[in-house]
């Protein structure tokens, strides 16, 4: 069976999960970057089985996922599943994703996910160690249900309200301070093209989906979350198997090798 795994990742948890998932599934499997597709219109999806791998934000999908899916054209009877990564709990993402697909007269077949280190609120040292060590095993445990095309009717779940991230509005108040050295890494990793260099100064606009890629990859820790005092300048994180170039590439390269 031909499968397309569409992913987004700011700090690598979902990128490594997408790759491991693709390696565990049966048949041909492409791994495709949603950040590279985001600015396209009418995106044809030619796979019989389609998976979306992404981080949970506020019990919901990142804005970029919602926005890109609205432009995707699926074949009828496509088996669509999501495989999320999160620090503690996936919240109401299954219901919200099913609602999104209902706009296209489609439905979500299956929602699975695994705990990973938190890139927003902090995980404990133990949690980071355990989730990274068990990532592969946790994925393998869930693959069978996808191969067997299990289905759950998420339309039966009670309705939920829009989450805080159903639109992009810089709700974390991402800002930059005087430690900035003008390296432009933040511009290169921002999936929303929300950061510009104007007259030698970095400007962060409000079309921000709070992915924190700029925050975690800035080499001088010049970026902070002005509306999130508790974790305003938390320690930086990225998955140990992912490099800055992988995150930059996801904006330009549709297919992951």
- Round to whole Å and give the CA distance between 25 and 186: 34
Give 178-212 as a DSSP string. TT-----HHHHH-TT--EEEETTEEEE-S------
Six-digit token string for 134: 């068990």
Nearest C-alpha neighbor of 152 from the set 113, 100, 112: 112
Residue closer to ligand FMN by CB (options 101, 211) is 211
Which of 29, 106, 218, 247 is the binder for ligand SF4 (CB under 6 A)? 218
3-state helix, strand, coil in the chain (%, to 5): 30, 20, 50
Residue 135's binding partner out of ligand FMN, ligand SF4, none, with CB under 5 to 8 Å set by partner kind: none
- Round to whole Å and give the CA distance between 120 and 128: 13
DSSP state of 255: B
Which range in 74-82, 117-125, 146-154, 195-203 contacts ligand FMN by CB under 6 A? 117-125
Six-digit token string for 29: 């499997």
Residue 95's binding partner out of ligand FMN, ligand SF4, none, with CB under 5 to 8 Å set by partner kind: none
Site for ligand SF4 in 129-188 (CB under 6 A): 174, 176, 180-186
Residue 182's binding partner out of ligand SF4, ligand FMN, none, with CB under 5 to 8 Å set by partner kind: ligand SF4
- Total residues contacting ligand SF4 (rule CB under 6 A)? 28
Nearest C-alpha neighbor of 11 from the set 130, 116, 89: 116
Residue 55's binding partner out of ligand SF4, ligand FMN, none, with CB under 5 to 8 Å set by partner kind: ligand FMN
Binding mask 45-84 for ligand FMN (x = CB under 6 A): ----------xxxxx-------------------------
User: Which residues are CB-contacts of 97 (< 8 A; sequence separation ≥ 6)?
Assistant: 52, 61, 82, 108, 111, 154
Residue closer to ligand SF4 by CB (options 153, 196) is 196
Distances (CA, A) of 61 to 91, 97, 102, 200: 10, 8, 15, 34
Residue closer to ligand SF4 by CB (options 87, 95) is 87
SS3 call for 245: helix
Residue closer to ligand FMN by CB (options 4, 118) is 118
Site for ligand FMN in 78-107 (CB under 6 A): 85-89, 91
- Round to whole Å and give the CA distance between 189 and 10: 8
Which of 4, 51, 118, 191 is the binder for ligand FMN (CB under 6 A)? 118
Residue closer to ligand SF4 by CB (options 23, 181) is 181
Residues that bind ligand SF4 (CB under 6 A): 174, 176, 180-186, 189-190, 192, 194-195, 202, 204, 208-214, 218-220, 222-223
Residues that bind ligand FMN (CB under 6 A): 9-14, 55-59, 85-89, 91, 116, 118-120, 210-212
């Amino acid at each position: 069976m031909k499968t397309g795994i569409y992913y987004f990742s700011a700090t690598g948890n979902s990128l490594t999960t997408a790759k491991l998932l693709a390696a565990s599934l049966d048949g041909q499997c492409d791994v495709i970057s949603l950040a590279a597709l985001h600015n396209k219109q009418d995106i044809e999806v030619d796979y019989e089985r389609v998976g979306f791998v992404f981080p949970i934000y506020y019990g919901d999908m990142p804005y970029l996922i919602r926005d890109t899916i609205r432009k995707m054209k699926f074949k009828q009877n496509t088996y669509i599943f999501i495989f999320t990564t999160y620090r503690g709990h996936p919240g109401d993402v299954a219901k919200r994703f099913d609602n999104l697909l209902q706009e296209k007269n489609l439905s979500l077949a299956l929602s699975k996910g695994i705990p990973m280190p938190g890139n927003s609120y902090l995980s404990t040292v133990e949690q980071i160690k355990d989730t990274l060590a068990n990532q592969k095993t946790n994925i393998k445990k869930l693959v069978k249900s996808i191969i067997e095309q299990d289905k759950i009717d998420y339309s039966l779940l009670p309705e939920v309200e829009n989450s805080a991230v159903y639109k992009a509005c810089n709700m974390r108040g991402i800002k930059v301070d005087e430690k900035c050295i003008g390296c432009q890494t933040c511009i290169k990793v921002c999936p929303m093209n929300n950061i510009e260099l104007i007259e030698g100064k970095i400007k962060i606009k409000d079309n921000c989906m709070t992915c924190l890629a700029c925050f975690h990859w800035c080499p001088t820790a010049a970026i902070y979350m002005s509306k999130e005092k508790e974790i305003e300048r938390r320690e930086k994180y990225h998955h140990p198997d992912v490099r800055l170039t992988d995150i930059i590439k996801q904006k330009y390269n549709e297919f992951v090798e």
